[in-house]
Chain A
Amino acid sequence: MIHSPYIRKPASVSSVMLTVLLALIPGIAMYVWQVGAGILVNLLIATIVAVAAEALVLKLRGRPVLLGIGDLSAVVTAWLIVLCFPPIVPWWITVIAVLVAIIAVKHLYGGLGQNPFNPAMVAYCAMIVAYPSLMSQWPPAGGLDFQTQLGLILGGMRDIDAVTAATALDAMRTGLRTGAGTIDAVMTQPTFGTLGGRGYEWIALGYLVGGLILLFRRTITWHMPVAFIVGLASTACLFWLFNPAQFASPLFHLASGGAMLAAFFIVTDPVSGATTPRGKLIFAAGIGILAYLIRAFGAFPEGIAFAVLLMNMCVPLIDMKTQPPVFGQRSRKLP
């Protein structure tokens, strides 16, 4: 027996996920243009592995397989993993990362909607802890042709120093810590562009465009991206004003690393994030602040993934403490 409401809005999980995938296209296009088509190979590998892993686990759990794959959530996870990783990581790192995300982080906790942690971020953290050097080899923008990238991804050819460069964040850290000089001195290195990493700035712009599409389509609300950007930028701004020679500008922090990808695609993951309006602000701002602190003072150049996981842990508490007042609780009469 079906009960009311008898009418429903034509919305579905798969359409939400499809929108997210489409919104990632501008960023990926920028990636291909600026860095090379190697990323596409990893995307392909990740997608296949994710769908296969999802199907396998669903089968083992006795759940409807086609329905589970059809929601496209596994593909979104796979793409986010690849986009966080250096585009030339060997294929087996991608495979392990996707398996960790889909099997351990998502399905061991009960499948779609049940995971307390962001699967892509757990995969990233696991890989960067397990393979720190492989995970730090980023190709310079426009520096490698597709053949070389393919070789690196599939063949395991590792003539690291010859072909890769440190990322902007990495270079900044190393530069400042080794006492190579001030920000301005470091920024003259070829790795850097106008704001962030040369070429990578354009990719960040692509993510920004995709994020605006998501906002426009009402797939995400403004709360999380705004709070994350404000959290990251204001913390950066505080240190930068305090000592502009030793701390990079807020703009640099926003344009480099995964900040833009995180702001619109990672922080906004509804499953592992806070859900109340105020909770979303606290959650995303917390990630922004923690991400900056890890970038500036931690052991790893990029801190967003760790920040996301730390804030994921706080989600139940945040949600509990930020329950919005229900109808009639606010006040008797609003002006």
Chain B
Amino acid sequence: MHRRSFLATLAAAAATPRLSWADAGSPAYLAAARLPDDSYALHGLTVAGESLFGLPMPARGHAATAHPERPLAVAFARRPGTFALVIDCARGIETARLTPPEGRQFNGHGTFSADGAVLYTSEVIAEGSEGRIGLWDSDTWQRIGEMPTHGIGPHDIRRLPMSDDLLVANGGIQTDPTDRTKLNLDTMRPNLARIAPDGSLMARAELPEGLHQNSTRHLALLPDGRAACAMQWEGDAAETPPLLALWAEGALAACPVPETEALTMQNYAGSIAHSAKTGEIAITSPRGGAVQVFAADGRFKASFRRADACGIAAGPGGFIVTDGNGAVLALDAAGFRPLAKHALNWDNHLIALERA
């Protein structure tokens, strides 16, 4: 393309209104995967579990986040992450690539500001795992600043509804800067931090003392302003603490399960979702090969078995679940119903492209 026509195209693009999610014909979900040749990709999925596109990723992916207005999403590398991809969801192409600054590592999750102008990325200082939120301009994709997460080893990060405050799951685990070796399991102290856009701490919630080895890792926002948090137990494997906690008014309350369910999840919750349709909260465990469903008040409802189930998001009838064997399944009170099976391994998360 000649420079002049390129500029003309650019001018035309600027003059016409940007595409919105409604125009895009874009997928309902994003999910990272490993392919049979051991390469990695990010797929856009329909509600029926069909793939609309598979975009190559330079290395293993983790989660993604959707822009509130424009049909774009940012997909993050698995921690310690060295890249994030900006994706045009309508066309399934990469339009920009983010690299963390020297000495910082992406931790797999991010979220946008309410107006979509700023992307927030969950990061650590590589040495010591102190948490940082990276700030990126969503037009130029330049880094414009950073702020503390008020904890060690942040993982998931969400913007609270009708607010520009952020909720960060500081998992509490210090890891080796070069790999994922855990260094502080005896002294770890996870928290959920509510953080104002200027970086100041609005509220910090911790679990009771006996649960300090319960790493707070993944979050689901509830429509009433509360949040649900999925945890991973790093203490004695013979103990079976709750893996779900509800965050309300800046405090955390654990949601125990009946003793007959104590081993179901093998002390590990990989993902969490809330279904607006049923009002339920669900957590997944690939290690236990199960999904546990809770009422909105945290009461245990049921377990459903599915080997290596991990990705979960709200679906038309309840939830949609992805697993390491390539299946996409609908989950409701009647159990699982397979929607599609792909020749790949779905990774940790299924991201619903919920738009305002």
Whether A associates with B in a native complex is: no
Task: Write the residues of chain A forming the contact surface with B, with a CB cutoff of 8 angstroms.
Answer: none
